[in-house]
């Protein structure tokens, strides 16, 4: 099914906000919004789980069959945090958890030993591994990187730059802007939700570009407590209801000044959203939520618990077709003390994402919700003594009832100075893998599942045409 978007002046202002209202109005035709249509495969939700700091994916998904590659650089002598193939390391690290992707027969990999929950979901075919993904301007080999014959992303190995690049899919800093690839599709899809719906893009990790478009703006929410005016509660009394009605009347007063009207509309939208969302956030959720998450009380688990509560109340919020969420966990800048820190982070990811998936099953929306990881970059394969440094290509996880389990993309050759390493000279052979799957290809697979047509993918991901194919993990 497909259907044209219909935009009213007030609804446009509600979605866009006061900032840049004139520019936004002028850009509608350029975006093709007035005549755009979106594929409508029923309800869909994308949940981005961002790993801030640069996750050491070489210790999250490792080769079991080809373990000698891993052990050549990471072993008891060179890396105190290395993961053994079997048994226990001298520092007490347990053996990796074996996973056998059905689409790589005869080749076994291993998950970090703290990820028992996700190992079970991989075996059930609900978890996919996407190897060596990262920002690229165009396909790039090691020889081309060294010769400088092809473009490379700006400011490589920079936290802030590569965070924006992964969320925006624009790898040249001068072009990145403030929009994310999910937000740009949201510009074309929010009209599928019910009129008067709360913003379709929500972040439980502050303001992020991922779900922000030209029209769609991300609503930043807390995981608990009050969202709205001070003094308002989830169970309003008569006095609070009177205050709310008075505020709404003031905000609804018509004004011919576009900027004033935009400010009114944005405030009205936020007020309406707080009335609907405040009791949801403050509440405990259904038994599906409480059973799935139990006593988990980590930051990531609390964010995903909040997402779960919003998903199960999607009809109340008017999200009959599309929702976009952003959650995160930090602490991945493991230059030192990696052994204990990374192990704890892997535990939190596995527990929280497993609980979230179990919620979607209990709520009957497992095939309608896809959660996936992203991170700034990978980390050097070579240890610096107690940790790892900034690198490039990274491995990601995709989880959901619609996911085709397996390993996708090209797993890098774990060889210092090898064909996937940017370094040639001995001092620069650190194991910084050149990505073989671009952010655009990763995003295109997710957005196609979300309902984007080929034409919309080309508009939302303008650099996609430079890359052939995309991983079919969903």
Q: What is the pTM of this model?
A: 0.89
Q: Is 174 exposed, middle or buried, given 0-12, 13-18 or 19+ CB atoms closer than 10 A? A: exposed
242 phi and psi angles, rounded to 5 deg: -65, -40
Q: Is 110 exposed, middle or buried, given 0-12, 13-18 or 19+ CB atoms closer than 10 A? A: buried
- Which residues in the chain show pLDDT less than 70? 1-40, 173-177, 228-234, 255-270
Output the pLDDT for position 1. Answer: 33
Output the pLDDT for position 40. Answer: 60
Output the pLDDT for position 49. Answer: 99
374 DSSP assignment? E
Output the pLDDT for position 158. Answer: 95
Number of other CB atoms surrounding residue 305 within 10 Å:
25
Output the pLDDT for position 225. Answer: 78
Output the pLDDT for position 39. Answer: 53
Burial per residue of 5-21, b for 16 or more beta-carbon CB atoms within 10 angstroms, e otherwise: beeeebbbbbbbbbeeb
CA gap 163, 157 in Å, rounded: 10
């Amino acid at each position: 099914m497909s259907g044209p978007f219909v935009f009213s002046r007030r609804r446009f202002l509600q979605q866009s906000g006061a900032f840049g209202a004139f520019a936004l109005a002028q850009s509608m035709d350029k975006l093709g919004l007035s005549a755009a249509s979106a594929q409508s495969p029923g309800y869909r939700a994308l949940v981005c789980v961002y790993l801030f700091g640069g996750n050491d994916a070489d210790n999250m998904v490792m080769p079991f069959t080809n373990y000698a590659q891993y052990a050549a650089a990471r072993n008891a002598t060179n890396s105190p945090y290395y993961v053994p193939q079997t048994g226990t390391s001298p520092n007490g690290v347990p053996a990796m958890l074996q996973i056998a992707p059905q689409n790589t027969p005869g080749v076994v990999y291993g998950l970090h030993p703290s990820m028992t929950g996700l190992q079970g979901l991989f075996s059930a075919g609900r978890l996919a591994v996407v190897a060596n993904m990262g920002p690229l301007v165009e396909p790039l080999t090691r020889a081309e990187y060294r010769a400088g014959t092809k473009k490379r992303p700006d400011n490589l190995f920079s936290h802030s730059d590569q965070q924006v690049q992964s969320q925006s899919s624009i790898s040249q800093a001068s072009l990145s802007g403030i929009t994310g690839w999910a937000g740009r599709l949201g510009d074309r899809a929010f009209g599928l939700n019910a009129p008067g719906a709360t913003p379709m893009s929500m972040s439980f990790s502050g303001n992020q570009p991922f779900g922000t478009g030209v029209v769609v703006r991300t609503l930043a929410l807390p995981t608990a407590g009050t969202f709205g005016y001070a003094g308002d509660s989830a169970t309003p009394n008569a006095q609070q209801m009177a205050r709310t009605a008075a505020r709404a009347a003031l905000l609804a007063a018509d004004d011919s000044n576009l900027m004033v009207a935009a400010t009114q509309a944005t405030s009205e939208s936020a007020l309406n959203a707080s009335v609907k969302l405040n009791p949801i956030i403050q509440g405990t959720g259904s038994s599906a939520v409480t059973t799935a998450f139990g006593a988990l009380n980590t930051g990531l688990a609390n964010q995903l618990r909040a997402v779960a509560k919003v998903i199960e109340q999607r009809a109340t919020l008017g999200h009959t077709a599309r929702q976009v969420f952003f959650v995160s966990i930090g602490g991945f800048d493991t230059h030192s003390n990696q052994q204990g820190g990374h192990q704890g982070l892997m535990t939190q990811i596995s527990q929280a994402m497993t609980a979230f998936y179990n919620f979607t099953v209990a709520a009957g929306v497992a095939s309608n919700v896809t959660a996936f990881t992203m991170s700034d970059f990978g980390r050097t394969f070579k240890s610096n003594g107690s940790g790892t440094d900034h690198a490039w290509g990274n491995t990601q996880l995709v989880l959901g009832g619609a996911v085709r389990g397996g390993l996708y993309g090209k797993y890098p050759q774990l060889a210092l100075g090898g064909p996937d390493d940017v370094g040639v000279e001995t001092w620069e052979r650190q194991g910084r893998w050149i990505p073989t799957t671009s952010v655009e290809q990763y995003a295109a697979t997710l957005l196609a599942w979300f309902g984007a047509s080929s034409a919309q993918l080309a508009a939302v991901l303008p650099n996609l045409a430079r890359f052939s194919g995309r991983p079919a993990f969903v």
